[in-house]
């Protein structure tokens, strides 16, 4: 509490009491009404029976663990390998997309921070941002057209003789992974850029003068500085990828059911908000636990990510 008061006083001293109060009210409104209360409502739903509207609030409307038990056992009291397998596959896919984004965005962020200057840097930033003016749904459909059997990639590949007949990129999930990788690329580029920008260029030059190769310079000098930015970007990309719905619906093949699609089915097709809430809580807990575990493995703290 003292730290929050000190932060408020510092902010008020720089920007005025009115601006400080407005920021505090906005943050409290955002945190309480848009995050905490909806999550508490969903948590409450997850421990309820799916009852007709007339029975809600009656003697049968009691708390239960049946919705969570269904995730682990299903209806026949055997291990629910189907739903748990879909959850594991979703997490593995989200991890894969996050790893690809790191590989793509690290060199882009480094070039933006220490190589590109003036017009070149501005053009790179504009080139990254402008495509995201297009709605996410439209971008997903654009990827479906691009990777379709009569799309540009198949057309170019067959015209060059790389393959004789159209490749089913949709069924192979190539379109899905490409679309998800592209969808969250900015959330990886800018955290890494903010971290790498703080690196003193003289440290790189000193390492080069001592005979270090480029890969060793990045491994021993740049990556330790970039690690908080990588962790911040990876956290956002992983959580959003695991919770994506539009891209899996549009770009996913017939056998690539996403866990969020299961949640959607419980909420909208089965009209079972209680079970859908339980599945959503399971996804939230698993994702947060996985992120915290990775932070512990790579020795990155919340404070470092916040910077």
Q: 204, 72 in Cβ contact below 8 A?
A: no
- Residue 172 DSSP SS3: coil
C-alpha distances (whole Å) from 297 to each of 18, 111, 231 are: 42, 28, 11
Say what the pLDDT of residue 97 is: 95
DSSP conformational letter for 57: T
The residues that bridge with 63 in the sheet, in sequence order, are 48
Mean pLDDT for 262-272 is: 91
Q: Give the whole-angstrom CA distance, residue 67 versus residue 64.
A: 8
Bigger pLDDT: 78 or 102?
A: 102
Phi, psi angle pair for 140, to nearest 5°: -65, -45
The region, left, alpha or beta by phi > 0 then psi within -120 to 50, assigned to residue 140 is: alpha
> Who has greater pLDDT, 303 or 165?
165
**Residue 101 · residue 188 · CB < 8 Å:** yes
Q: Which of 121-130, 173-182, 267-276 has the lowest mean pLDDT?
A: 121-130
- Compute CA distances 263 → 38, 66, 244, 256, whole Å: 16, 16, 11, 15
Contact status, residue 191 vs residue 156, Cβ threshold 8 Å: no
What is the pLDDT at residue 307?
Answer: 61
Does residue 301 have a pLDDT over 80?
A: no
Q: Mention the CATH class of domain 78-306.
A: mainly alpha
Q: Return the ∠ at Cα 262 (arms to 256 and 265), rounded to 5°.
A: 120
pTM of the model: 0.87
Query: pLDDT (tens digit, 9 = 90+) per residue, 123-145?
Result: 888 888 888 888 888 999 999 99
Condensed to tens digits (0 to 9), the pLDDT of residues 186-225 reads 999 999 998 888 888 788 888 888 888 888 888 888 888 8
| Domain assignments of the chain as residue spans, ordered by start | 78-306
């Amino acid at each position: 509490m003292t730290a929050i008061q000190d932060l408020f006083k510092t902010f008020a001293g720089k920007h005025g009491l009115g601006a400080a109060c407005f920021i505090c009210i906005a943050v409290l409104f955002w945190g309480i009404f848009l995050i905490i209360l909806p999550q508490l409502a969903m948590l409450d739903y997850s421990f309820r029976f799916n009852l007709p509207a007339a029975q809600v609030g009656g003697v049968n409307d009691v708390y239960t663990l049946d919705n969570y038990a269904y995730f682990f056992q299903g209806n026949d009291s055997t291990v629910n390998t189907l739903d748990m397998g879909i959850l594991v596959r979703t997490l593995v896919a989200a991890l894969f997309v996050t790893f690809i984004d790191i590989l793509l965005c690290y060199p882009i962020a480094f070039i933006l921070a220490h190589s590109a200057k003036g017009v070149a840097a501005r053009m790179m930033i504009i080139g990254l941002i402008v495509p995201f003016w297009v709605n996410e749904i439209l971008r997903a459909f654009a990827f479906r057209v691009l990777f379709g059997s009569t799309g540009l990639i198949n057309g170019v590949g067959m015209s060059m003789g790389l393959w004789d007949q159209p490749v089913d990129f949709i069924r192979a999930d190539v379109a899905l992974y490409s679309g998800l990788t592209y969808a969250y690329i900015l959330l990886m580029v800018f955290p890494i850029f903010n971290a790498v920008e703080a690196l003193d260029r003289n440290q790189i030059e000193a390492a080069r003068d001592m005979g270090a190769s480029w890969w060793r310079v990045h491994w021993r000098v740049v990556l330790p500085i970039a690690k908080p930015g990588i962790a911040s970007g990876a956290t956002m990309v992983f959580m959003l990828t695991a919770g994506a719905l539009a891209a899996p619906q549009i770009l996913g093949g017939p056998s690539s059911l996403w866990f969020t699609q299961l949640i959607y089915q419980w909420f909208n097709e089965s009209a079972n908000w209680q079970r859908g809430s339980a599945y959503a809580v399971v996804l939230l807990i698993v994702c947060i636990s996985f992120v915290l575990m990775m932070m512990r493995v790579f020795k990155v703290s919340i404070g470092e990510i916040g910077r």
